[in-house]
Amino acid sequence: MSNFELLNSDHLARRGIVKTVHGNINTPAFMPVGTAATVKAVTTPDLLKTGSEILLGNTYHLMLRPGDDLISKFGGLHDFMNWHLPILTDSGGYQVFSLSKLRKLSDNGVEFKSHIDGKKFLVTPEKSIEIQKNLNSDIVMCFDECTPFPATHDQASDSMRLSMKWAERCKYAFTGSQNQLFGIVQGSTYSDLRDESVRSLINLDFDGYAVGGLAVGEPQDEMFKVLDYTCPLLPQNRPRYLMGVGKPDDIIGAVARGIDMFDCVLPTRSGRNGQAFTKNGTINIRNSKFKQLNSSIDPESDNPVCNTYSAAYLHHLFNAKEMLGGMLLSLHNIYFYQNLMKEIRASIEEKRFQRFSEEFLSNYN
């Protein structure tokens, strides 16, 4: 039985359902990031109400603290953090490269020192899969090297081929699991390398395909160009995931090119910093123009946070450094993202995605 049902499409935009052991995910879907077994400053009951159907957990953080063996003993990440819908975990690769100290890369894997206490670890493709199995992740990601941007063709080629070898080892290590394993397309901004990477992965037959090596500092049009030539190479009957993306306009542009799944820290990180997403773009709630504003931060948006609290109250909370400020804006921003995804899904179903996206973007930018 397929793990992905394609319900509708509107040009390249797709409306589907990803099926997992812990339930279905309506796509296009946005996954809030729960790095250390918590979506920062948001309780799981509140998160459920936002319409979130899947969370992302970070393998690197969880293996270091509290440790995947402990989480495994507790019945997996779902029980540990009280989230009983699907969870996707990244492979840890990205954080090994961006956060840890003294990395040593070999064909076998990566040796590194923890950014928390300097303790030494070796992560191989097999180890990454073992950790993600311990977490009981519904969607496991292959361990890969996220090619930095920019990269020469040679660098990108070597890096991609290493990731493809590791993908094969991940696939083998994953054998027998009831959960799903996604392959990650690499190849930087080179269409021949993306093509080679996709063919390698399809040959191994993954449950879904992520486009990796993007959202690493490249301009938006560069990212869209990569999607323009990569997405058509991917099988129609599998979900497609754009890792680490992004801003609302990034998401809309990627959906238009055939992407189904997204994750990003932006709604929660911005929320803690006093930035709120609105239909007219982002606002900084600390701005003194909100001090006396006895109305919603966004009368166009509709959610229990901005429907309940005035801009002035939220401004006051940040001004007084009250934790509730970050809690409420994080929640508001997740609602904003999930409502955007709902509207995207409805517009695809009704074959009016392009009109929806033009209207959204003309207000937003």
Distance CA 143, CA 5 (A): 26
Q: At what angle do helices 220-230 and 191-204 cross, to 10 degrees?
A: 50
Task: Give the chain's length.
Answer: 365
Q: Let me know if 205 is a catalytic residue.
A: no
H/E element holding 111? strand 110-113
Is the Cβ of residue 78 or residue 171 nearer to its own copies in the bound state? 78
Closer residue to its own copies in complex, CB, 47/226 = 47
Check if 79 is active-site. no
Burial zone of 161 (CB within 10 Å; 0-12 exposed, 13-18 middle, 19+ buried): middle
Q: How far is the CB of 182 from its own copies (least distance, A)?
A: 26
Could you check whether the bond before residue 92 is cis, i.e. omega within 30 degrees of 0? no
Element housing 130 (H / E): helix 125-135
Residue among 166 and 318 whose Cβ is closer to its own copies? 318
- Cβ proximity to its own copies: between 20 and 268 the closer is 268
Residues 305, 290: contact at Cβ < 8 Å?
Answer: no
Nearest distance in Å: CB 82, its own copies: 5
CB of 69 to its own copies, least distance (A): 10
Q: What's the min distance (Å) between Cβ of 197 and its own copies?
A: 35
Please give the residue ranges that form the binding site for its own copies (CB under 8 A). 36-38, 40-43, 46, 61, 65-66, 70, 73-74, 80-82, 272, 291-292, 294, 308-310, 312-313, 315-317, 319-320, 322-324, 326-328
Beta strands per DSSP E along 267-332: 275-278, 281-284
Shortest distance (Å) from residue 243 CB to its own copies: 23
Which listed residue (68, 90, 207, 260) is catalytic?
Answer: 90
What order do you get walking across the sheet with 208-211 strand by strand?
A: 29-32, 261-264, 240-242, 208-211, 180-185, 139-141, 87-89, 55-57
Which DSSP letter does residue 33 get? B
Among the listed residues 225, 259, 256, the one whose alpha carbon sits nearest the alpha carbon of residue 239: 259
Options 10, 68, 263, 298, the catalytic residue: 263
Peptide bond just before 150 cis, omega within 30 deg: yes
Nearer to its own copies, 7 or 70 (CB): 70
Q: Work out the burial of residue 154: count CB atoms within 10 Å of its CB; fewer than 13 is exposed, 13-18 middle, 19 or more buried.
A: exposed
Q: How far is the CB of 328 from its own copies (least distance, A)?
A: 8
| Closer residue to its own copies (CB): 2 or 295 | 295
Cite the active site residues: 90, 263
